[in-house]
Amino acid sequence: MQIQKRNIGLIVDDSLMRVYVAAPEPEGQYPGILFYSDIYQLGRPITFLADRLAGYGYVVAAPEIFHRLEPLGAVIEPNDLGRMRGNDDARRTALAEYDADGLAVLEWLKAENRVASGKLGALGFCIGGHLAFRAAFHSQVKASVCCYPTGIHSGKLGRGVADTMERIREIKGEVLTIFGAFDPHVPPEGRQKILQALKEAEVTSKTVTYEANHTFMRDDGYRYDPVATDAAWVEITTFLKGVLN
């Protein structure tokens, strides 16, 4: 279906956070999705993914995850310098700040009249996959999709060591994890650690691994895999529809 696009501003910790919102054009209420980018923020490859999800019938809200450190609207280029810049921003952002941002977007979605009551989910890529996983700690989040999430198994997220693995039992919704078999950032032992923890916590979850690399869903890089991406979208939309619709 056709979609509408706009930007809104939310104040979190006295910092203006831009949130890119994509929603279906037809009138009605739809599930709301907290949508997290990778370290490069909201460039075209990420907003394209947000737009695509909105077209399936979701109100998608994507925050700028480094709004405390980067100018409003900043897009980090996915090159060597951009990678260093994005990773440094990620390192300098406190865990509590990431969590506060996610909660602010969820509260906005709950108050948005086009979002159906009780139907909230999260989706993210790379560092955003980790953040979408943490969003599942909120009981209001019924479905979380984590695409090649980095740092869950190692506790790497922002300053200090993240307590994500220790809090998995707080998840009450369902989780879909998507991995690339050749992803150096989430090696097989890391994937297994996450999946075993989900199983032990009795979280309803599903995982899919593709013969692909990290960030294989970004269409602007050498690791882009259109076949794996299309297959992942089938899994994502089927999962979200099953839980939220």
* Buried/exposed code over 83-120 (b: 16+ C-beta within 10 A; e: otherwise): eebbeebbeebebebbbebbebbbebbeebeebbeebb
Active-site annotation holds for 147: no
Catalytic one among 38, 89, 101, 183?
183
Candidates 138, 153, 185, 214; catalytic one: 214
d(Cα 90, Cα 128) in Å, to the nearest integer? 11
Radius of gyration of the chain (CA): 16
Q: Is 146 a catalytic residue?
A: no
Among the listed residues 89, 101, 126, 146, the single catalytic one is 126
Which residue shows structure tokens 């991995």?
179
Q: Residue 115: what are its φ and ψ, rounded to 5°?
A: -100, 125
Verify whether residue 214 is a known catalytic residue. yes
222-239: buried (b, 16+ CB within 10 Å) or exposed (e) per residue? eebbeebbeebeebbbeb
Alpha-carbon span 150 to 169, nearest angstrom: 19
Please tell me the distance from the alpha carbon of residue 116 to that of residue 133, in angstroms, as a whole number: 22
Kindly state the tokens that stand for 188: 């097989």
Active site residues: 126, 183, 214
